[in-house]
Structure 1
Amino acid sequence: MPQPEKLLDPTRSPEAWFGAELRLRRKAAGFVTARALAVEVQVSVDMILKIEKGQYRCPEDLAPRLDAVLGTGGLFERAWAMAFDADKRRRDADTSTATVSDRLGHTLEGPILEGRTSSAATRSESVHRRAFLAIGGLAALAPLDLTRVLSPGGELTAPAKVSPREIHQLLDIANSLQTWDNTYGGGGLVSELAANSMRWAVTLLSVDCPSGIRPDFLAAVARLGLVAGASKFDTCDHPSAQTAFRIAVECAEEGKHWHLRAKGYSLLARQAVWIGEPDDGLTFAEKGLVRSDRLTATERAMLHTARARALARMHNVPEATAAVGAADEAFAARRPQDDPPWMTYYDEAQHNGDTAHALFDLAIGSKAYDPAQAEQRFRTAVNGHGQAFPRSRAISATKLASLAMHRGDPYEGVLLGREAVALSGVLTSRRAASDLLELGQFAANHPWLPEAVDLHSLVAATVQE
């Protein structure tokens, strides 16, 4: 039997009040499940559930979409301004003059930080300070209580000093996790392994490290942070993913690793767009492009594509298409031999799939926008992704089917949709599942077509609640 919904306490915080009101209005509007509402407002069901429980602040641009779908006459847009806008202004003012370490602390607050005092951290103390800040934020990332694990009687025993051995371990773990994540998705055992590996990396951040190997050590932690964050992103555990990405960026910046920094900001941008915060996504992408002369052409293409996806979600057609053009221009100039090893994934199939996502949002958002270019790019991605990237292939196939179902031939959409379901069924990816649900909703818009009704049922049977 289904479990009864947990009672909400709207007096606990502004987020809790907003969430309780959202659940009340959702049900009043006839949306029995959070998933049904998530499909309509085009965000993940995980985001809706966390907003309702007061665990996640509703993105500002989501509030008017909730009003439009639920018919609440601007209630949530007004409520957002009253509940959160003053706090947002305060945080913006705080971070405008804060040091890098202080800014990281605002993001990664946790129990271990209670009672800490703000100070301008110097480079000599930055590794230890970042370690404490990271532990607070990673409490949600690790499956165990980090304060217990890192106590003298904890299960992990840190070395007295970081050595090349630990650096090699971190890199080996990162490379293995990336392979498993690409093959199986970020859920299940992969997610647990990523969390435990990141917990170990955070442990090492509080250990002395000889200056001669310190840059390599910071690069290894950053590399693992990117992989672990990507795994959590794939399971829609967005707070944990953002924590890992921010640790990666901070380590990359401190170690002056521009390539890792660029990848970190690209992932932060993609995640922000996914959770309905495209303005933040645009900011992250543009931060990544700072000193683009130090980046490879492939990395510039990756970041311009992130800009395009953010701009498309903001319904800025001219700038989004211009960003796609900039990404194409950079990609045409790429020299794979110049790229760091972790960028080998960004080949022609990946570039076409990523830029197609931006064009997909334009095509779905406006009937005046021609979907042909998005369709062509998704086809190139589906045909080009090899056996090592089944998730990327499945997601592109799903988007292609959705595009056909919504803007093209629904009969073709059914055929493409069945292929997409077959490709996605073996993955433990919440992102892939969310795209399938979107496809199922587009199929449900054709009740006169029995094959489309069957596809909707097939999607529902494939994606578990």
Structure 2
Amino acid sequence: MDRRAFLANSSLAAIASIDLAALVASTTPHEPPTKIRPKDITAVLSVAEDIHRRDNAHGGGGLVGVLAGRAMEWAVRLLTVPCPEQLRAPLYTAVARLGVVVGASRFDAYAHDDARIAFKISADCAEEANDWHLRAKVFSFLARQAVWIGDPDTGLTYAEKGLVRADRLTPTIQAMLHTARARAFGKMGDIGGATAAVGAADDAFARSNPQDDPPWMAYYNEAQHDGDTAHALYDLVLLKDQNPGQASRRFETAIEGHDDAYARSRAISGTKLASLLMAKGDPQQATAIGHQALTDAGHLTSRRAADDLKELNRFAARHRRTPEVAYLRERIAATLQA
């Protein structure tokens, strides 16, 4: 059925077998401008912030991933358009910023190759714009991604690359990168390395002044810092049987400090804290925290959050005979299947 026939038909039910996706696909090419204008740069930055907000609140899957992919396609086309010299650095900075948030959303959806491509474009654009802060942010995400997929050695290398010329970075951004180092050391089971990196992150964050940071670093508050460092300490507890107290306290601060705009971070910190308590023999408290985390996780399209729930379910299996834990496992199973 062509578009004219579709428009003449009064009922969707009558065309249920029609490929509606093909019908709604644009037949008019979306051509980039003939010359870069300030409003083109503003649009890229605006879309980047929108994707960032949706990704943190809902996860990187589903419609967020579609929006991210299409936005990145458009942005890289702008790099081929003639650009006035005074707009060149702002254009590359805007595309770098978009590349960071698109890469983050693709990472969250486990589209790892797509994420790496977005991060690579972002790093190149940040260097072209001489934007050391964005460059550092890209390497922080590359480090987190590598650690997540089981390659902490490469993750440590990325974090160290981000810290090149640390004198050009704000204390908040330094803290973010030291946290990435800590998470890499934690996955390696390196107690000394992780502990020292957490200390360096804490020291840098203590010097933090939000007024000195780029606007996109506003997310890195106490809740974010404590949640990120808690992840490194969490691995030491599980891999090296370290005391869980400090990791627990940091996760608690993260959970309390994240509002609905950062529902994914709150869900992940809550799930990790529940797993920590479940693994260390406090199933009652773990169950209560796990139910809270499930309330957040149930609204997400995050593959990372889903994998953390699977981990919690494995730890909870040790206490499967406890009725409260059994019910938690039922909720986890239902959430993962939804």
Taking structure 1 as the reference length, what is the TM-score of the superposition? 0.66
Q: Secondary structure at the match of 1:212?
A: helix
Aligned to 2:251: 378
- Map Cα deviations across residues 384-432 of structure 1 (whole Å, 9 max, x no partner): 1123211111110110100000014112111111111112111111111
CA distance in 1, matches of 2:150, 2:84: 42
| The structure with more helix, counted as a fraction of residues | 2
Equivalent AA in structure 1 for residue 223 of structure 2: A
Report 1:208-357 matches (<5 A).
208-357=82-231
Equivalent AA in structure 1 for residue 168 of structure 2: R
CA distance in 2, matches of 1:154, 1:275: 40
Question: Aligned-pair distance for 1:159?
Answer: 1.6
Aligned to 1:459: 332
Aligned to 2:39: 165
Aligned to 1:182: 56
Return the structure number with greater relative CO, CA threshold 8 A, min gap 6. 2
Unaligned runs of 5+ in 2: 1-20
- Map Cα deviations across residues 57-114 of structure 1 (whole Å, 9 max, x no partner): xxxxxxxxxxxxxxxxxxxxxxxxxxxxxxxxxxxxxxxxxxxxxxxxxxxxxxxxxx
Equivalent AA in structure 1 for residue 264 of structure 2: R
Q: Secondary structure at the match of 1:209?
A: coil
Q: Secondary structure at the match of 1:388?
A: helix
Question: Aligned-pair distance for 1:211?
Answer: 1.7
Question: Aligned-pair distance for 1:165?
Answer: 1.8
Q: Secondary structure at the match of 2:189?
A: coil
Equivalent AA in structure 2 for residue 382 of structure 1: I
Equivalent AA in structure 1 for residue 160 of structure 2: E
Fraction of identical pairs, as percent:
56
Aligned to 2:11: none
Aligned to 1:140: none
CA contact (8 A) 1:421 1:459 kept: yes
Q: Secondary structure at the match of 1:463?
A: helix
CA contact (8 A) 1:161 1:209 kept: yes
Equivalent AA in structure 2 for residue 300 of structure 1: Q
Residues 442 and 216 from structure 1, CA distance in 2 versus in 1: closer, same or farther, beyond 3 angstroms? same
Question: Aligned-pair distance for 1:245?
Answer: 0.8
Equivalent AA in structure 1 for residue 317 of structure 2: A
Question: Aligned-pair distance for 1:280?
Answer: 0.8
Question: Aligned-pair distance for 1:450?
Answer: 2.5
Equivalent AA in structure 1 for residue 162 of structure 2: G
Taking structure 2 as the reference length, what is the TM-score of the superposition? 0.90
- Map Cα deviations across residues 329-365 of structure 1 (whole Å, 9 max, x no partner): 0000101110100000000000000000000111111
Question: Is structure 2 residue 323 aligned with structure 1 residue 442?
Answer: no
Equivalent AA in structure 2 for residue 201 of structure 1: A
Structure 1 residue runs of 4+, over 6 Å off?
none
CA contact (8 A) 1:441 1:456 kept: no
CA distance in 1, matches of 2:239, 2:211: 38
Question: Aligned-pair distance for 1:154?
Answer: 7.0
Match of 1:403 among 260, 270, 276: 276
CA distance in 2, matches of 1:301, 1:154: 47
**Residues paired across the two proteins, number:** 315
Equivalent AA in structure 1 for residue 181 of structure 2: R
RMSD (Å), alpha carbons: 1.6
